[in-house]
Each structure stands twice: as structure tokens, then as C-alpha cells.
Structure 1
Amino acid sequence: MCNLCAETREMWKKSGAWFFKSLPKYILPERRVTGRYNESELARSLQEAGNSSNEGKTDSEPGSPLSIHAPSFSRQASSIERKSVGSPHDTHYEWSETDILSHGFSGLSLHRTDSLNQRPLAGLKRTGSKGSAYSLRSIRKEIPKPTTQIERPPKIPDAGFGTLEIKLAYDNATSSLAVTVLRARGLIGMDMTGLSDPFCRLEVLPREGTYSNRLRTKTVHKTKNPEFNETLHFFGITESDLSVKSLEIVLFDDDRYGCDEMGSATVALRECAKSPAQLRLALSGSSGSEPTGPRVLLALCYNTKRRALVVTVCRGADLPPQDSNGYSDPFVKLHLDPDPYHKKHKTSIKWRNLNPVWNEEFLFETRPTELSRQNLTLTVWDKDYGKPNDFLGSLVLGASSKGRRLKHWMDCIKFPDHRHEQWHSLTDTQHI
């Protein structure tokens, strides 16, 4: 009985609970045979052998090993019965009492009747007990496992912008091309959460004069693996056009502050000349690293000494003309939202210029922790006297922006006291 059970039994006796309830019975579990030999018979044989050996032991000294270790076995046939124990692979071997050598309890070793030299030494395995008992384990043949080759589909060279699956079908009766945009996989993340709002813009190239037959799909929000499943039709395409024209598909991230390109792919129309074709295209990056069209060069820097955001409006390019002379008189308005100080800044006016150069610096007092919740809004105007100013474009940088604008804003927060300069496209949406 362990100490806990003994203490519990004493508490039952002292508290008088034994009068109302009988004392608990402690039943030990049966001892299982863990080795290859019966422990009870082996213990009984050790005891009998010890009694017989103690009768004739008179020369042992108190400090000799014979007085410390257990007595050795006697060679009488009645002490240990002969048992036949073996592995499933070799059952004709037997253990005998003559094979047990008496070297003390810790030095007990068992041997087979046959010579162990006939067996390879690799078959000997040391047991985990304190003694030096060795057992001969069976040698199993190593059967090589059959290797099955899994057929994998051919990989498409992916440039890191994802893939797009489409289906092309040409109808000769109506001279129309049906393009079914099925799905896209592995698109790049554009917003703060790492997701995107993708849509596809399709166009047949080359164009015929100034006529543009651009079509677009619906927008699938908050995903990097959109399912479009939308069919678009291009009319007026002859059989001769199938061999010379191609279809350009560009994926954009939908944003009210400006759509950013996520990837593009081009496929020749001759793929569907004979029969409908289902293709899987690898998307590539935008052709130009810098944006095109009306744009502005902006520099951001958070100054830790001034504890303020330093915004530098460097220059503009390709601004739309609004005056009758083919020019504009642009200037820029800036404000930070939300701003507890409600500061608004304005650049100087550059007369008769579509590519103005300002290089003017403005400060907005704020904290780095608040920048992740604020947005910087820039609007470009054409100065007019006697009538309202004409709107030329706008730009929003902040946590709600996406793509290049979001990266520019996050670099300003992560790396303070550094000047981060980048071109940004202007959108025609006016933000008040």
C-alpha cells in the first residue's frame, strides 16, 4: 500500500467513517509477463537455488562478492525445468539449466545450446535491464517498398502574379468572339489585409483606328482567388482577324481612389479558330514601372524631431488642358484626414504649364501611431478667375489606399527620417 492509501485508511479509522461505510479494498492489478520468461517461475527457481547454495557456502567473507550478490544456480536437474522458448522464426531451440552460468544476480547471462558463432553478430541486441542479458533477435528480410510515381499536371511558369483561366469560342455565323473568364488563382494582395478587389479588362488588339472595344467583368471583392464565371462578347471579328489579332486581359484592383494594375496576359485568337479552347494563362507584371497619364511626384518623410509628417509636392506631368489656349494653370491642395488641427495647405500656381515643377514642402503635426489611421488627400486644380476652378485630378495616400500608394505610405511609417519619393497617377474622382 502506498503512502497516500495508508494515510487515507488512517483518516477513515480516526474519523469514524468506517462505522457507516466499510473500509475500502485495495486490490493490486495482476502482474503481466513482460519478458520472454515467466517471472514467477524464474523467481521460484532463484530462491530454491539460493537455498541450496547457501547450505554449502562457508568460505564467503563479509566483504566478498559472494556475500553481496544473489546466490548462483545449482546444476541439479530438479531446480529448473527445461523449457522450450524461441522466436516465431526458430522454434526448435531449447533453453537448459546447464546453459545458465552463475555470475551473480547482476551478471546473469543466458546462452543457447547451439553455437552463437553460426549466427551473425548483428542479430545480438542488448536488453534494457541492469544485467548483461543478451537475446538473439530474428533477422528479417528488408522488403523494398514499391515506389509509385504520382502524375502531376505540367506547371505553368508563374512570375508571382498568379494565373488566369479563360475559355474562347468563335461563332462564324454571327462573327463574334465569346470570352468566358472563369477564375484567377494566386493574385497579389493590394490592400492592408493582404486581399484584393479584382476585375478584368479585355481588349482585342490591334485597334482599328480610334475605335476601342474594351470590355470589363464584374468586381469580386476581398479575395485573391476570384471566381468570375462571366462571358463577354466581341462582335465584328472576321475569320481573317483570328490569325492576326490577339486578346489582351489586364487585371485591376477596384478602388475609388484609383485602380492599380495587378497583372496582364495576352493570348492569340488563332487558338480558337478551329474549336473552342480553354486556356490557363500566367499573369505578368505591368509593362512600365512608372505610371502613365496625369501623375504627380510626391515625397513623404516623417520627421521625428519635429514630430510631423513632411510632404513635398515635387512636380506634375501630363496634366489635362482646361484653358482655350491648350494649357492649364495648376495648383495643389493638401489636407490630412482626420486632423485635430484642421490644417490645409496649397501650393503656388504655375501659369500656362502642363508639366509644373513646385518643390514645395508642407508639415502636418501628427504621431507615428496615428498615421496608420490617417489619409493624405491631394487635389489638383486649374486656376480660373471669375468662375469656379476646374478639377484636374486627385490622389489619396493612407491606410485606405492600395497597391503602390499603400506601400509608399507604409514605407514612410516604417522608416522615419527618410525621404520616400514616388510617382502616383491621378484619378478623375473628386474627394471633398
Structure 2
Amino acid sequence: MGPCESPQSACQHLWSSPSLYASFGLLLGVFVVCGLALLGLLAFVSWKLCRVPWRTKAHFPGPSPTPACDPELCLLQPPLLLPSPQQPAVTMATEKVKDPMGSMGFLETAVKISHTSPDIPTDVQLSMREHFLRRTQRMQRQATEPASSTRHNSFKRHLPRQMQSTSLDLGNDYVVDNDEKPTSIGRIQPELYQQKTLESEDSSKNGSSKNCGRINFSLKYDYENEALMVNILKAADLPAKDLCGTSDPYVKVYLLPDRKKFQTRVHRKTLNPTFDESFQFPVPYDELAIRKLHMSVFDFDRFSRHDMIGEVVLDNLFETSDLSRETNIWRDIQYATSESVDLGEIMFSLCYLPTAGRLTLTVIKCRNLKAMDITGYSDPYVKVSLICDGRRLKKKKTSIKKNTLNPSYNEAIIFDIPPDSMDHVSLHISVMDYDLVGHNEIIGVMRVGCHAEGLGRDHWNEMLAYPRKPIAHWHPLLESKKSEKEWKARTASFDSQGSCPSPRPPASP
């Protein structure tokens, strides 16, 4: 608008523009279309609402001239009495009900008999019988048990409770057609299945907690010979492993992590054997704190593999007994299906620097590794893999130590991981046996991370709680197959969250 133009001339100029007319026409068209749509919707809803009563009237034209009474109400109504005190009145009512499965049938709601005198004339009985036979020929009836009443006790004696008979005995005069079928047959009773389910759950719980008996032994340390004396005395209440209801038990004794083992004699056909055998394990007194006493109870079988009954493991010998004098000990035998294998242990430290985004794993040493060569030794090295949501991002290895089961490394392995990725990564540590010819064998594995279990998770959380400080722990090695199955089960839920990016060092300021 120019400086000399008035507001009225400016408004006339705007209304006279063709673009304004086009927009106004478009807006008016939108309003018209919306109005027509609303009118159509209202008409459709009203048509639907009016159509429902018409359908109801089509299926149910109107009430019957003689409305049928409810079965329960009919049973509660008092019986009609005849004016004459010598004539009984018998009232029968039938009602046509809809079967839940879609079948239609006639259901007799009640058969009511009222006696005003104990003696009924013979002619009245004959007329009632003829009337009843004519009625049964016209319609199919189904008898139901009448309501409990002192007046109908004589009738209830002839009517079975479970409706298993096909005819009713009403004084040997009234006969009901054999086509009648009780309504209770064929119906599912959930309470029966629930009871069986509870019984099966109880039996499964009782079966899972098997009784493996008890074992009696004694411990004493011989300071002169620097040896641990283990005396296997007896066992009691062992489970039967043979068909004759007995077992042939014997005991294997280990002082882990040493591979040397002792075995008792086999006692034939008994569940309460008395061994009374002593074994001597040479071990310095200072090493008793890190030793484990392992006793495995087996059932001897001449023609097949020996069955394992159970085992007893003592982790701390000093807490179990006073080794300075002989102590008698009873222990429950724990159920086990296979003998546990000791693969050795690995010691390493973890240190994380949040500002630099650097994780340092220092492999310190291993001890009591499993011998993989025929010489009784191994050529071990350690391989560390960085895992993110089930995918291996990086792997690094230590040097190889020849012909030893207790190698020392003191080698650091560094990974660059930003702080925001620490909740998604973990470390897979494998102790391998180097083989010049053929492939390298896995001695044992373990995992550490926030998604690991047991000591691996605790070690990781302690590292995060104390940054910039090396945290060292011993970790037992596990079998590769068992560890892989557990790891896949734990990482299966992480795959749905998407893959995480490769850890990169934080950007420099």
C-alpha cells in the first residue's frame, strides 16, 4: 500500500484479486464436502441402530401364548393340590432350550409328584399312565433330578444322581424312552484336570530333589610328613542303582587342583557301605587354603559305564574342621550326573580409564592347567576377544609358553572403548594349547562383562566402580561347549536391540 492510498482502497484491491476468490472457493468446497460426509455418517449410524430391533423381531416374532417358566423357578414353586383329598396331582413342565453347541432339544425341567394321601386308586394310576405314554410319543423328553425336598425322597431313590441309567423306575409303571441322554455326560470338568496338574507338579518337584544319601569321613594334617590324611569311613542311605534294589558303591577322592586321585574298594549289593580306608595327599600346609577336597560316589557296573551317584566338594578345608586333630565329618551327597573336570585357573587384572576410553587387561598367570600333550604338559597362550552384542570386533593374543601347566605372562592387552559403549561389550578369554601340527585346542574359557555371570560380572562391576585402578582376580576355566551354550542364551536377547558400533577412542578436544 502506497503512502497516498487509503485503507478502503487497499481492501477493495485485495478483494478484487483473483487469488483471493480462488482460495475462498476452495475453502467453501472443503466445508461442503465435510458436511456431506457427516450427513452420510449420521444416516449410516441411524440405519444400523434401526436395523438391530428389526432383526430381533425377525428372529423372535413375539412371546408365546404360554410363557415357559424358568427351571429353577419351577422347581421352587409348590405343587398344585387337587380339591379332592383322595386324588393326587401330577404336574409336568417341559421347556425348549438352546444347546450351547447349536443343537436344539427339549429339556424337562421338573417332574413334580404331590401325594396328599398314602393310597392312590388304581383307576387314577391307569389314566395317568396312558396320559404319560401319549405325551412321550409326541415329544422327546429328558429327565432331570428334581429339587431336594422331603416330599420327593421316594422319587429320588429311583433317579440316579449321575444320570447313568437310560430309564426311570417310577413304581414299575412309567417307562422313559431309551433315547434320553443325560446332560452331564460329555461335559468337561476342569476341577479334575486341575487336580491332576497339581499332582503332577508335586511329583515333579519331589522327583527333582533326589536323595543321594550321606557320607562320613575324617580329616587330619600330618605336620611331620606335610600331608593331608583323608579317611573315608562309611556311607548311608545311598540310592539304588541296580534292578535288584541295591548298589555297588565306591568313592573317588581328589585334592584339587592336583590330578592325582585315590579310589576305595567296591562294596557289593549294599546301600550302607563301610569303607574305613585312609589316603594321604602330600601338600604343604600353606597351600591348604587354595585346595579343594572332592569326593565322588559311583555305582560299579561290570558291563557298562559306571553310574555316578553324587559328589561332595569342600572348598575351604580350614572352615570344615580343625586339621591339627582328627575330626569326624558327615556331609550330604549332592546329586550329579557327571564328574566335574578341573581345567585350571587364570589370573588377570582389569583397569579402565574413562577420560581416555581405554580398557587394559593384564594377563598375569595361569595355574594347574589341563595337560593336552602326551608328555603331560601343554603349550598355553591366552586369546582375548572383544564382543559386542554377540559379534566379535577385535581379538588379541599373548605369547606362547612351552611345556608348562603353570605359565606366567604379565602381558597387557589394550582395547579402546568409549564410556557409552561399556554397557554393550564384554571380553571372551580363552586359554589355548598351541600345536605345531594341526589346529590349536581350547583348554578352557571364561567371560567377563556386565552381561556375564558370577565372578565375571562381579569383576567387571568392581572395575567400573574403581576407575584408573587395576583389579586382579583368579577365575576358573570352563569347558568351551558349555560356555558357548550359556553365552548364546544370554546374548540372544541382545540381538533385538541392534548392533552396536565398533568402539572408537573419544575425539580429542
Determine if the TM-score, normalized by the shorter chain, exceeds 0.5: no
Higher fraction of helix: 2
TM class by shorter chain equals 0.3 to 0.5
* TM-score normalised per structure 2: 0.31
- Greater RCO, 1 or 2 (C-alpha within 8 Å, sep 6+): 1
